[in-house]
Structure 1
Amino acid sequence: MLDIASRNGNAAAELRRMMRRAAHAVMATTAYDHKQVGDGWPVTSMVVPAAHIDGSPILLISDLADHTRHLQNDPRLSLLFTDGNIDPGRIDTDNARLTIFGRAAVADHVPETRQRYLQAHPDATQYADFADFGFYHVMVEAVYWVGGFGKQRRLKGDQFIIDGCQSLIAGHDDVIEHMNIDHADAIADIVEHFTDQDKNDGWKMVAIDCDGMDLECNSADSRPLRIEFIETIRSPGDARDILVEMCKKARAQMA
């Protein structure tokens, strides 16, 4: 279960991590020209979001889906994320869940939005360019977390989303290239110290965001690896500083 008292005391960061871990979400939209219910009826569907560098959700959805038509008429939505797998055979009030309230904006012509989604979901490249599919960026207005009976937290959108990280978005690819070309040894040492994976598997950084980094390796038995940062970053300079700090901790332990 999510520990709302995070390592760095940042509740919003822990909620963003919960969202990033989720394999899918339930989305609620307002019906428009629906074949079964009248306009204004609440309708839910399952979607596979990704999280942008600042923590805002990204969607790739088809114009053929009811929920896309609903959003084109009324961009308001809510997304429900759960922490871990819920057993449908029993009721467990201790299952953590996170609801994000926001508005969907078309983002087909925003390259970093597309890039971020496809980094998180590489299989989506098979249909991302179909004429009926489009990318949407969710502008978060409010967040509601329930961690079990009597445990809840409410945040405004600007408390959940990281501001001032445009330089990290713009410099994302340069950070990745620099780390993989010049500091592969540092990545390996960080993997060894902060995870239980083999540092010699040829790990490479594939993405970085305000809360952590995503790695992959050449081993057929390994899955993509997520390493969380101990504090929030906003710029390439912040990324350099936190990676240097993590590398120093890893090498101090090995000394």
Structure 2
Amino acid sequence: MTDISTDATGDHDAAGEGRAGGPAPPPLTPVPPARRRTAGEEARTLVAQTNVATLATLSDDGGPWASLVSYAALDDGSPVLFVSTLAEHGRNLDRDPRASLVVAEAARGSDPLAHGRVTLAGRVTRPTGDQEPVARAAYLASVPTASSYQGFGDFSLYVLQVERVRWVGGYGRMDSADADAYANAQADPVGDARGAITHLNDDHADALLIMAQALGGYPDATAARCTAADRYGLDLAVETPRGSAPARVGFAEPVTDKAGLRGAAVELTRRARAQP
């Protein structure tokens, strides 16, 4: 796979592969700008999709310790944890606030590393004042079974103050975000769009091909399938006589909920068919 560096830090996006694993063929016609989610938006979207993560803490000997935990998220995306000192990770947080949380997209298919995940790193604090009931309510809403042990003395509520974010969208797609970019981003209201993607590929392959030809820059495309969908547009995998290539087609307006994907895709199809 050929990677294209997007900045000096080494973050990159896959360029795709052409015939025999070579570079992807370039577009033949100008491609309209198509907005993508930022790393902060990608991270917030993943965090909003589940309540299970891997927590990494530091043991008393300084060694790393990873555990499976449940979590909630505050309005700014800060994860809320409710852990017991009977567990090693609870004792670790009580002694050393440094921690990181890995949230992974639910894997489907044979290759889990082809799916998205995000690492949130920072320090935990115990919520106080007005934040404490807000954090507790958020956790109970996300993990209702916690109501049965919320009064136990060995459990403590923590909020991870995110300092660094690293998002990986699969092979060759990754980026970083700082604390402000993460806190100020919003989760994509489309969320997990894999059902819509399957529907597009199974029932609307002709429309995807027209999009690739008229809007994606590949008038020589012979087939196209959708590989991702978000509030801003669709990612396509395009087949041409020159080889395979990725393409991005943007919606006329950002989608405000998952139900809006259908109308946005219909508008894309109409716009593509109207091209000379």
TM-score (structure 1 length as normaliser): 0.56
- The answer to whether structure 1 residue 30 and structure 2 residue 50 are counterparts is no
Structure 1 residue 119, shift from structure 2 partner:
1.3
Question: C-alpha distance in 2, partners of 1:31/1:152?
Answer: 29
Structure 1 residue 75, shift from structure 2 partner:
0.5
Aligned pairs for 1:90-169 within 5 A:
91-107=111-127, 110-162=132-184
Q: Is the 8 A contact 1:108 1:134 kept in 2?
A: no
Structure 1 residue 93, shift from structure 2 partner:
2.9
1:17-68 CA distance string (max 9 Å, x none):
2112123111111111xxxxxx001111111011111111000101211111
Structure 1 residue 8, shift from structure 2 partner:
7.4
- The answer to whether structure 1 residue 16 and structure 2 residue 16 are counterparts is no
**Structure 1 residue runs of 4 or more that deviate by more than 2 Å after TM superposition:** 6-11, 90-93, 210-213
Corresponding residue for residue 182 of structure 1: none
Corresponding residue for residue 239 of structure 2: none
Q: Is the 8 A contact 2:52 2:71 kept in 1?
A: yes
Question: C-alpha distance in 2, partners of 1:211/1:93?
Answer: 22
- Unaligned 5+ runs, structure 2: 1-33, 190-230, 233-255, 261-276
- The alignment covers a number of residue pairs equal to 164
> Equivalent residue of 2:114, what SS?
coil
Corresponding residue for residue 200 of structure 1: none
Question: C-alpha distance in 2, partners of 1:13/1:92?
Answer: 21
- Unaligned 5+ runs, structure 1: 1-5, 33-38, 164-209, 214-229, 232-244, 250-255
TM-score (structure 2 length as normaliser): 0.52
Q: Is the 8 A contact 1:25 1:80 kept in 2?
A: yes
Question: C-alpha distance in 2, partners of 1:99/1:64?
Answer: 25
- The root-mean-square deviation of aligned C-alpha atoms, in Å, is 3.3
Question: C-alpha distance in 2, partners of 1:122/1:108?
Answer: 22
Q: Is the 8 A contact 1:108 1:114 kept in 2?
A: no
Larger relative contact order, structure 1 or 2 (CA cutoff 8 Å, min sep 6) = 2
Higher helix share: 1
Taking only the aligned residue pairs, the percentage that are identical comes to 34
> Equivalent residue of 1:93, what SS?
helix
Report the AA paired with residue 77 of structure 1.
A
Structure 1 residue 74, shift from structure 2 partner:
1.2
1:96-126 CA distance string (max 9 Å, x none):
1110101111126611111111111222111
Corresponding residue for residue 184 of structure 1: none
Q: Is the 8 A contact 1:108 1:135 kept in 2?
A: no
Corresponding residue for residue 216 of structure 1: none
Q: Is the 8 A contact 2:81 2:159 kept in 1?
A: yes
> Equivalent residue of 1:161, what SS?
helix
> Equivalent residue of 2:184, what SS?
coil
Q: Which has the larger radius of gyration?
A: 2
Q: Is the 8 A contact 2:167 2:175 kept in 1?
A: yes
> Equivalent residue of 1:130, what SS?
coil
Question: C-alpha distance in 1, partners of 2:114/2:68?
Answer: 22
Report the AA paired with residue 45 of structure 2.
R
Question: C-alpha distance in 2, partners of 1:80/1:15?
Answer: 10
Q: Is the 8 A contact 1:107 1:134 kept in 2?
A: no
Structure 1 residue 92, shift from structure 2 partner:
3.9
Structure 1 residue 133, shift from structure 2 partner:
1.0
